Amino acid sequence: MKGTAGLYLAGVLVSGFGSTAMWLASGIWVKSLTGSDSLAALTVFALWAPVLLGPLLGTVADRVRRRPLMVWSDVAMAALLPTLLWVDSADRVWLLFAVLVLYGAQGAVHDAAEAALAAGVLDRRRLGDFNGLRTTANEGMKLIAPLAAAGLFARYGGGPVALLDAATFAAAAGLFALMRVREERPARRESAHWLRDTAEGLRTIRSSPVLRPLVGTGAFTMLLAGLNGAAVYAVVGSGLGRSPAYAGVLYAVQGAGSVVAGLAAGPVLRRVPERLVSAAGLALFATAAGLRAVPHDGVALAASAVIGLGLPAVLFTAMTAVQREAPADAVGRAAATAHTLLFVPNAVALAVGAGLVAFLDVRVLLPLLGVAGLAVAGVTAARHRT
C-alpha cells in the first residue's frame, strides 16, 4: 500500500502545481483582456460554483470504480485545456469561464473519488497521516506555483499556462493509472434513484453523532475564514500601510503553517480526540484572526502562520472522520456533501465580508470574529468532555 500511497501523493503534487498555476493565471488573464476587476473576480466564482452541486457530483463517484474515474477525468481535462489557446481577445473570454466551470465540476468529482478510494484501500488508522500529507503536498505547491505562473504569464501569456496545466493533468492521470488497487464494481441496487442516492450523503452526516459536530464546526470555521479573507487587503493597506502585493507574503507564510499542520496531522489525530483537535484548530484560527487587527508586521506574519496551522486542522479532521465513518458505498457522496457544507459558507462569507469591510473597520470586525470563534471552540471542547 505504501507504493499506492506514494503514487497517489505524487499525482496530487503534480496536479496541484498545475491547478494552482491555472487558478492564479485565470484572473490575471481575464483582467488583461477585459480590464475589468469584476470579471477577473468572477473567475474564482466560476471555479467554486460547482461545489454547490457537490452531493450530486459525489454520487457519480459512488456509482463507478474510483481509480478509472480519477484517471479518465484527468485525461478529459488534459484534452480540454488546450482549447484555451483560442482565448486571445475580450470577446472570447466566455470560453475561459466555461472551461473554469467544467474545471470546478471535475475537481468535485475527482475529490469525491479520491476520498472514497483512500477510504477503501488504505488502513483507516492511517487516514489522518494520509490526509495530512495530502494537505502538505497541496500547500507546498501553493508556495511555488504562483511564482511560476506569474512569470510564465508575464512572459508568454495565458496559453502556455493552460498547456502547463494540461501536462500536469496528463502526468497525474499516468500516476493514478499505475496505482495497484483492487476495486470491485459498485453494486447497483434495483431501487437506485439519483435524487435519493444524492441525499444519502447528507443523511449519513446528519445521523452520525461523530460527523455532525465535526462538519458543523468546520462549516462555521470556514464562514469565519471567508470574513477574514475578505478583510486581508484592508489589513494590508489601512492596517500595515503596505501595498496590496504584500498580501502575497501573508498568504505564503500561511501556506508554510499549513505545511507544518499537514505533517503533524497523523500523529495528532492518533493521540488526541477528534473534537478536541477541531476545537483547538478553530481556537488557533480565531485567536490569530483577531490579532490581525494589530497594526504591526511581526504580529501580522505570526498570525498568518498560526492561521495556517489552525484552519487545516479543522478541515482534515472532518474529512478524515467522513472517510472512516461513512459506509463504504456512500463515502463519495458523504465526502462531496461535506465538501459542499464546508466551503459554501466560505464563499458566502467572502461576498458578505467584501461589503462589511466597506463600512466596518477591521480593528472592530476581526476581534469580533475572534471572539465568536473562541466561543464556538469552547462549546465544541465542552461537548467533547460531556
- At which of 149, 182, 215 does a domain end? 182
- CB distance 39 to 100 below 8 Å: no
For position 108, what pLDDT does the model report? 87
Alpha-carbon distances of 157 from 21, 38, 95, 192, 339, rounded to whole Å: 13, 20, 16, 47, 33
For position 32, what pLDDT does the model report? 83
DSSP characters over 59-98:
HHHHHS-HHHHHHHHHHHHHHHGGGGGG--SGGGHHHHHH
Helix boundaries (H) for 272-361: 274-291, 297-325, 331-359
Query: Which amino acid appears at position 135 of this protein?
Result: T
User: Is the domain of 78 the same as that of 120?
Assistant: yes
User: Is the domain of 92 the same as that of 232?
Assistant: no
User: Is the domain of 11 the same as that of 149?
Assistant: yes
Locate cell 488573464: which residue?
Answer: 29
196 inside domain: no
Highest mean pLDDT among 112-116, 150-154, 262-266, 272-276: 272-276
User: Is the domain of 45 the same as that of 178?
Assistant: yes
Question: Which of 143-152, 183-192, 263-272 is least confident?
Answer: 183-192
Q: How confident is the model at residue 385 (pLDDT cuts 50, 70, 90)?
A: low
pLDDT in tens, 330-347: 788 888 888 889 988 887
**Average pLDDT, stretch 236-264?**
82
For position 188, what pLDDT does the model report? 60
Which of the pair, 249 or 291, is modelled with greater confidence? 291
pLDDT in tens, 94-137: 999 999 999 989 988 888 888 888 777 777 777 777 778 787 87
For position 192, what pLDDT does the model report? 55
User: Is the domain of 89 the same as that of 4?
Assistant: yes
- CB distance 286 to 377 below 8 Å: yes
Question: Which of 39-43, 86-90, 321-325, 365-369 is least confident?
Answer: 39-43
User: Is the domain of 227 the same as that of 84?
Assistant: no
For position 81, what pLDDT does the model report? 95
- At which of 113, 148, 182 does a domain end? 182
pLDDT in tens, 21-52: 888 788 788 888 888 766 776 787 788 788 88
- At which of 136, 151, 182 does a domain end? 182
For position 146, what pLDDT does the model report? 73
pLDDT above 90: percentage of residues in the chain: 30
User: Is the domain of 96 the same as that of 171?
Assistant: yes
Cell numbers standing for residue 289: 484572526
User: Is the domain of 211 the same as that of 99?
Assistant: no
* CA pair distance 197, 215, nearest whole angstrom: 20
pLDDT in tens, 63-79: 778 888 999 999 999 99
> In this model, does residue 303 exceed pLDDT 80?
yes
319 inside domain: yes
Cell numbers standing for residue 226: 471567508
Q: How confident is the model at residue 269 (pLDDT cuts 50, 70, 90)?
A: confident
Q: How confident is the model at residue 197 (pLDDT cuts 50, 70, 90)?
A: low
**Average pLDDT, stretch 220-228?**
92
189 inside domain: no
Domain span holding position 364:
201-386
Q: How many domains does the chain have?
A: 2
Q: How confident is the model at residue 194 (pLDDT cuts 50, 70, 90)?
A: low
152 inside domain: yes
Which of the pair, 288 or 243, is modelled with greater confidence? 288
User: Is the domain of 282 the same as that of 133?
Assistant: no
pTM above 0.85, yes or no: no
> In this model, does residue 184 exceed pLDDT 70?
no
Question: Which of 191-200, 209-218, 305-314, 349-358 is least confident?
Answer: 191-200
**Cα dihedral 239, 243, 249, 254 sign:** positive
Q: How confident is the model at residue 373 (pLDDT cuts 50, 70, 90)?
A: very high
**Average pLDDT, stretch 311-319?**
91
- CB distance 169 to 77 below 8 Å: yes
Give the CATH number, domain containing residue 20: 1.20.1250.20
191 inside domain: no
- CB distance 58 to 336 below 8 Å: yes
For position 326, what pLDDT does the model report? 83
**Average pLDDT, stretch 278-286?**
95
188 inside domain: no
* Torsion angle, alpha carbons of 322, 324, 325, 330, to 10: 70
User: Is the domain of 205 the same as that of 160?
Assistant: no
**Average pLDDT, stretch 165-188?**
82
For position 83, what pLDDT does the model report? 95
Which of the pair, 57 or 307, is modelled with greater confidence? 307
The neighbour count for residue 361, using CB atoms within 10 Å, is 13
Q: Cβ-count burial of 177 within 10 angstroms (0-12 exposed, 13-18 middle, 19+ buried)?
A: middle
For position 102, what pLDDT does the model report? 93
User: Is the domain of 127 the same as that of 271?
Assistant: no
221 inside domain: yes
Which of the pair, 172 or 114, is modelled with greater confidence? 172
Closest listed residue to residue 341, CA positions, set 318, 324, 308: 318
**Average pLDDT, stretch 214-226?**
93
User: Is the domain of 250 the same as that of 309?
Assistant: yes
190 inside domain: no
Q: How confident is the model at residue 202 (pLDDT cuts 50, 70, 90)?
A: confident
DSSP characters over 7-18:
HHHHHHHHHHHH
